[in-house]
Structure formats: C-alpha cells, structure tokens
Structure 1
C-alpha cells in the first residue's frame, strides 16, 4: 500500500487549540502539510449545519478530529451531560460533514477509556465492547465508542477511508492544569509546584496510589497520528501508547522529584481510584514503524518548563477543554 496522505495535502485539524490538536498541527505543519484550523469563535463544531458548510467550502483532503470535551475524574463526575452530549454533537458534525464534503481521509481520536474496566492487560483493540466500562468516565467513553462506530459505519456503507486511533494517557505542552478539570499528570505538576513554593510539609492525593497508568508525550502521539494518516486503513481502532506503565504512587514520586518537592506524599483511600490498570497493546502501530521517543521523566520536565514559561496558566474550563 502506498502513502495514503502525501505531503502537501490540505488537512483540517478540529480542536487545534487543545493538547492533542495543537501537537498534531505542529507536526503536520513541519512535515509540509497545508494545515487548516478554525477557533471555536469562528466555528462551533457542535453546530452541524455550520460545520458542514465550512467543510464543503474548505474542501480538505483529510480531517483530524481531535476536538473534545475532556477532563479527569472530578470533571467527569461533575459534568456528565457535557461529556456525553458535547462529544456526540462534535463527532456527528465533523464526521458526517466530512463525508458530505467528499473528504477522502479522516482520523478520529478516541481514548483508552473506551475499553472495559477489567480488560485483559495489555489491552488489545478487540477488547472493545467486551465488558462494563469504568463508571467514573462512562458518559465520555460511550460518546467516544459512538464515534468509533460512526467511523466504521462510513467505512462499511460508503467505502470511506476513515480510521480511529485510541491514545493512552497524554501530557505535554498545551495541557490543562486546572485542578477541577485536569487529568492526573498536569494536576500533579501543579500540586507539587504549589506545595514547593508554599514549603508545604505534605501533599495528599486521591485514591490509594496503586492503580497503574501508561503515559505518552503528546509530541510522540502527533508522530503516531502522522504514521496512521499515511499508512493505516483498516476497520476498528488502533492503539497508541508508550508500552510501559507505573503506579500513581510512582508517578507522583517522579513528578515530585522533577519539580524539587521534598515533602511527604500521602494518599486518601476514601477517594476513587478509577480503573485498576490501563496498559495498551501497541503491536499494530509498531508494525507500521512508529516508536515513542520521549521518556516520562524528560517529558515531565519539559512540560513543567512549558507551564512555567507560559506564566503557570491554570487551563481552560471543562466546557471548552480542547475545542
């Protein structure tokens, strides 16, 4: 099979201001692609007719759907309607609009939370829909599963070269550091930074510290997405992960060491842990020649420095997390 998306092609990045979309836009731009973006003020992706009209006018060769409403355990519990309905609206607008506009290639970005809570580890792509989801992020996961099924349906019914990629837990420049809506790694960076500045003797974290998580720098994901756009065309999702995991307690120790916090790290077992373990089986993406390049410690250090250089922003509200 030849290259499915040659250099110079026009690519619309939906969600270019978010963690994932901004990294993909940087990578595709550096590789010579004609990257097209629109801010939320210019185009609300939840608005189907407006999105369809834009895609007809823009006429991109490919679309990368990285726009989503995202967040951690607290945000998922607080805003389940937003996580379900916003993501369904965005996906219906962009995927349907791409088909109607004759877009040849589309990459839909999902999440590892689509897989069952107790899926066999490492998680293979065929684990999808084989068991109950983790309750703390079920609305978001169901929306993402719907997006995967929509992509598959367009492949089957209309022969579209549309594909889905499922990244593991991501971090990097452009992340959301708001403690009410962020994911675990940026939240830890902020917590330990503030504790170091305040000379706090202790930082108490949610849960037991025993769940295991896999992390991938967003620039490594962007490289993987380019590989998928160029070379992957098959039914079902393709996993993208680092291939290694660690406990939340170990992660906290790594982040604290990078930031220079030397106080005590404690855990509150009365708070939820979430899924016990989420390690992705990345065999398919590695068969295409992709490998992650950025170590966790180096990635955390670079992300922390980016946050400091940006003036320690707290991030966006949950309703506009990646649009």
Structure 2
C-alpha cells in the first residue's frame, strides 16, 4: 500500500474511534460531524480491506487487524505531534490543547478542582480529560502521547519515566458527627474495631497502601465491614447518614468534610507510614513545552515540603527536582 495514496487524517479518526469506542464521541473529540467520521471509517475499511471496528452493545469493538494497527498508528501520531511542537513555545493564552491525566477518583476529587480553576484562569481555552487506568496501561499511553502525566501514589514506572514528589499523604477516619464516636477528637483502636465500617477499595495503589497499613496494625481482618465501595461518589452521604466509619486519605476526608457540616475526621488509631503522591511522565515528552507547563503548574499548586525526618528527606533528594526512575 502506497502511503502517498492515504489521507493521514484518517489515522486521527482511527485513533479517536479506538479511544472512545464511538463514532459520535470520536467526532466530538475531533470537531467533526458523525457523518464525516462514518465516511472516514468507510474509507479506512476500504484501504485496509477490513471492518476495523464492529458495532456491539459495548460500542465500536476493534477487530484483530485494528488491534495490530493501533500501536504504530498512535506512536506515529505522537511523533508527528512532537515534531510540530519542536521549536514552538506553548502559549497558554491562546492554546486549546487537551491535557489527559491519569488519576483515580481520589485525585479527581482532591486535585482536579483546583488545577482546573487555576489553569483556566491562565489558559482560558485549555481542556482536561481524566482517565483511571492500570499502571501498565498508563505506561503505554504515556509512551504514545495519549496521557500527559500520571498523578497519584503510583510506583515508579520504569527507567523511561521521570517522577516528582508532590506531597506525603496519610490515612484518617471519617465519621458522622451524630454517631457514637462523632464528638471525639481521637479514637482508640478498640473503639475502631468495635465499630462498623465502609471499606473503600479504589482501583490503584492507594488501596494497596491502606491494606498494608491495616495489616501492620492487625486490623485488616478484624474490622466489621458493612459496605465495600469501589468509588468515592456518595460515600460522604452514606457516612453522614449512618454510624459507619470510613478510613480514607486525609485530603479526601478534608474535601468531604468541607462539603458537609455533619462529618468529622480524626487521626487513625494506629501508626500510618506516610506515602508519596507523585507526578510521573515519559522521557519523550520531558522537553515538550506544553507538558512542561502542566507539570510546573501541578508542582506549584500541590508541592509540599516533606514532614518526615531529615534522614528520610535526604534519601529522597531535594524533593523539588524531577528524577528519573533509574537515577543512572
């Protein structure tokens, strides 16, 4: 197949359909009508002699041929985008760029409101899209330019990635002020174990941190769990209306308390080792001016000096400079 005979815009349509699993949503992302996207898909099917995407109850499902094509197409688009940006300064005042951030629902609730507010004040046309993916998926998408940065308590992603500490997080216990324990400023481990709980089990490493913390405290299998929840949506209302305890990251609890006056948070009744919240990005986009603007904005908004011992701070370095996962 002669590359000169192919409209390269078709690859953008391919990528959008693959990412959204929808002709309509692909059109919204590209600023095209549904009929224009359908026509582009028809042309691609003719070029590759394959259906590429098959309509199903789950949306437009890629065929095996499409699955083989997606990686080189996305890498090619990422290279072209990087080439276009070379030598061009990112201009926040006039940009309409979409930044895609890998973050779980904790980060979306805690970090995105402030980031969006400040970013839109500087760059009125900037847009954001959050995605909740596995570490492996985040690595691949950042490699291909589909995700700009990852925010959270992610483990280091590998030697091709930079990482930068933002702040240390811990866990607290959230409860209703009207509950039996709601008027206390601290609770004992015995009261904690005697109470009924919500087990918040989000996707990602935050849940792993909590499970390890509870295990070290001997509380993992001792809690009386009434509700196990995968998402934070609605949890504050459930806590407020019940006597259930919810153990969550401190900043998530702070956001929940700020939104309602009938909630109260106290320190966990067991030792909690602080864990780092970082931003990470792929080396291919380290010098990309737009990516750099986003990273600097995130760092400026959320970086806090470590409250750990001087020895621990020394082990992590200055804490303000981005480090390669592989220091060598």
* TM-score of the alignment, normalized to the shorter chain, above 0.5: no
Q: What is the TM-score when the length of structure 2 is the normalising length?
A: 0.30
Q: What is the TM-score when the length of structure 1 is the normalising length?
A: 0.31
Whichever structure has more strand as a proportion of its residues is 2
